[in-house]
Amino acid sequence: MNGPAAPALEISASRQMLAWMAQQRLSLALTTYQIGKLFLLGLTPEGRLSVHERSFNRCMGLCPADGGFYLSSLYQVWRFTNALAPGQAQPDGHDRLYVPRVGHTTGDLDIHDMAVDGQGRLVFVNTLFGCLATLSDTHSFQPLWRPPFISRLAAEDRCHLNGLAMKDGAPAYVTAASTSDVVDGWREHRRSGGVVVDVARHEVVATGLSMPHSPRWHGGRLWLLNSGTGEFGHVELDTGRFVPVAFCPGYLRGLHLVGDHALVGLSRPRDNKTFSGLPLDERLARHGAQARCGVQVVDLRSGDVVHWLRFEGVVEELYDVVALPGVRRPMALGFKTDEIRRVLSVAPAG
């Protein structure tokens, strides 16, 4: 007897979401480590939603890079670059073909946020060791910085360092679930132990947050997701106060800011100790809402959710979301089929 059918993936959009993507001239890249998928969302020549997916085990962090993007997976970091010439598009309208050209084997560091600094170097949050790090040609990673409350590098996920905000081409702020300095100690502080740390000043500048994620510097403000409460907002750096701008019905991870809008990733909380007992449960009940999975577009000026994408079925969690500017319909190659064998390109001579 056959077992129950696997739940199908359905992606729906608000009425104006696709028009907004066309107007902004951007596509989206999303990761879900729940099922190990990279999603590239764009527009078909007819203006409908284009969905392209590839499999990468426990893929999480995303960050734009010159001509492509970086992707972190279970024990590797991949650099994707576009194989199409400028202005070239395939007959079906795909105008980017992202190929995983360079892979770094790091081991399972539980890499979260990533960014490229002013020198073109990849900086990533090494959550397992509780530090910022970069790639190494000879080792799993090269440590760059660790929070003042972490006494030494150890593979113990002590504070659950997770988020990274860049400013003027350098790491500026990070988020952590707690200031714990013992193995897995952050789990006891999920409700209100979250902090923001100023990297240059080497000090905590905001406290009392609930599982904060995805800090981003934009328009002279430090924006972030207070994931345990379902709130998107910014931090007043002179007072350390978190100022909510919008409540989004889900566990928030993944943030990309475009002009006056924020792309916010939402997940349905898992039924386990990490996600249970957070203020988000109470907020959802108070609003008479259920948690959703998808992306919401928040207007920074009003706090209104003006557009959205919703995932139903097999995908219940997202980790990261980035916009791909100037891209209409992207696709990528992976390793599950032999397509990658047949895509060849030649660099200019000399």
259-299: pLDDT as tens digits: 999 999 999 987 666 777 899 999 999 999 999 999 999 99
Task: Please name the helix (run of DSSP H) or strand (run of DSSP E) that holds residue 319, with its range, or none.
Answer: none
Cβ atoms within 10 Å, residue 39? 22
In a domain, 346, yes or no: no
Q: How many residues does the chain have?
A: 350
Report how far Cα 53 is from the mean position of its chain's Cα atoms: 16
- Burial degree of 295 (CB within 10 A; 0-12, 13-18, 19+): buried
Report the mean per-residue pLDDT for the chain. Answer: 95
In a domain, 288, yes or no: yes
In a domain, 344, yes or no: no
In a domain, 312, yes or no: yes
Which is more confidently placed, 7 or 21?
Answer: 21
In a domain, 252, yes or no: yes
Q: What integer pLDDT is reported at residue 90 of this predicted model? A: 86
Q: Are 36 and 55 in contact (CB under 8 A)?
A: yes
Strands 37-43 and 68-72: unpaired
In a domain, 350, yes or no: no
β-strand partners of 13: 309
In a domain, 341, yes or no: no
β-strand partners of 50: 42
Q: What is the CATH number of the domain that holds 77?
A: 2.120.10.30
Asked whether the predicted pLDDT for residue 350 surpasses 80, the reply is no
Instruction: State both tokens at 22.
Output: 């066309």
What is the domain extent for residue 294?
9-334
Instruction: State both tokens at 90.
Output: 């395939």
Instruction: State both tokens at 332.
Output: 């990528």
Instruction: State both tokens at 328.
Output: 């209409």
Q: What percent of the chain has pLDDT over 90?
A: 89
In a domain, 348, yes or no: no
DSSP conformation class of 208: E
Q: What is the pLDDT of residues 68-125, one digit of tens each?
A: 999 999 999 999 999 999 888 888 899 999 999 999 999 999 999 999 999 999 999 9
Strands 96-105 and 330-332: parallel
Number of domains in the chain: 1
Tell me the whole-structure pTM to 2 decimals.
0.95
